[in-house]
Amino acid sequence: MHETSVESGLPLTYGQFSAVFAPEGPLRLPVYTGSMFRGAFGSALKQAVCVTRTYECAPCLLKSRCLYPYVFETPPPPESRVMRKYTAAPHPFVFEPPAGGITAPAAQPLVVGMTLFGKAIGSLSHFIFALERLGQQGLGGRRVRCALSRVESCLDGRKWSLYGVEDRTPRSADAFEKLIVLPLRPPFALGEQLPIEQATIELLTPLRIVYDSRLADELPFHVLVRSLLRRIGHLSHFHCGGDPSGVDFKEWIELASTVHIVEHGLKWFDWERYSSRQQTTMRMGGLMGRVTFEGKLAPFYPLLAAGEVIHAGKGTSFGLGRYQVLGR
């Protein structure tokens, strides 16, 4: 396997954490819980960090130094050559919510996974404070209070507590920071002799990838690769100080176009969420299921592994676009 140094690749730093809640009563969970947790978290974070108490970011003189707009409303700098057609940079976090469609019994632990990227890792204590506030305000239509019992992470195969009811001072996240370095070019050339392999990808949450100006209802391998390259490039640029201009997108995509689908088990999953900020119902359907690819897959394993961390497509802060690679 070819190793890639930070100097010759695109860096992405991240930290993975788990927040464990204990509901004080039965909590009805929607079919997809990502919307519930993400929406409540956004409101709680704004309340936690807004020093003016106006909760209006646009006219605020402090918005360039405030955590909330950095996390939720960061516009690309005017001079940036990256994402010039976008109104906001990607959020520096991903939620991995618990399964929904059930009523969680009182006191049964609810585990919410949370991945922070780049500069956001240093603000873990603010995220914890917002999660604690979220639980105190309650979740669901009945506003069931959910005590934040602990926040933990894994290191060397062992769980470590960063916050708990017995020690309410959050520990530093520095030791749990990890690094992904994406090669700027595929580590193998297009014509190089490589074994033909198969890999199955299971989409665990709805995948929403826009390709050719519409939501993709199929998943050719090159479409997935395009989405992953674009997302890791944006995350690295805006949150980790990376420069995606050196990534050879054309060579990556040409190589990806030689990989084909041999088994297709994907279906469209429809769900809706209500946006209190926009005061409207939004359709958030996407692809779910399994798809098996065949071809010269060796160059793509590092990228696919990175995708398991960052997720793919749109709505990743809700936990959408989460997948795992099987049979690798």
pLDDT per position as a tens digit, 83-94 = 556 667 899 999
Let me know if residue 8 belongs to a domain.
Answer: no
Do 30 and 172 share a domain, yes or no? yes
Residues 33 and 109 in one domain: yes
- How many distinct structural domains can be found in the chain? 2
Tell me: do 47 and 168 sit in the same domain.
yes
Among 17-21, 53-57, 133-137, which stretch is predicted with the lowest mean pLDDT?
Answer: 53-57
Same-domain check for residues 164 and 286: no
Domain end marker among 176, 193, 226:
176
Residues 84 and 124 in one domain: yes
> Does one domain contain both 171 and 215?
no
Is residue 125 domain-shared with residue 23, that is, in the same domain? yes
Residue 231 belongs to a domain: yes
Q: Examine the fold and report which residue of 146, 176, 206 is the final residue of a domain before the chain moves on.
A: 176
Q: Domain span at residue 67?
A: 14-176
Q: Where are the beta strands (DSSP E) in the chain?
A: 9-23, 27-28, 93-96, 103-104, 110-117, 146-155, 158-164, 178-183, 197-207, 210-211, 214-215, 260-269, 272-275, 280-283, 286-295, 323-326
One domain, residues 227 and 127:
no
- Statement: residue 273 has pLDDT above 90: no
Q: What is the pTM of this model?
A: 0.90
User: Is 9 part of a structural domain of the chain?
Assistant: no
User: What mean pLDDT value characterizes the chain?
Assistant: 88
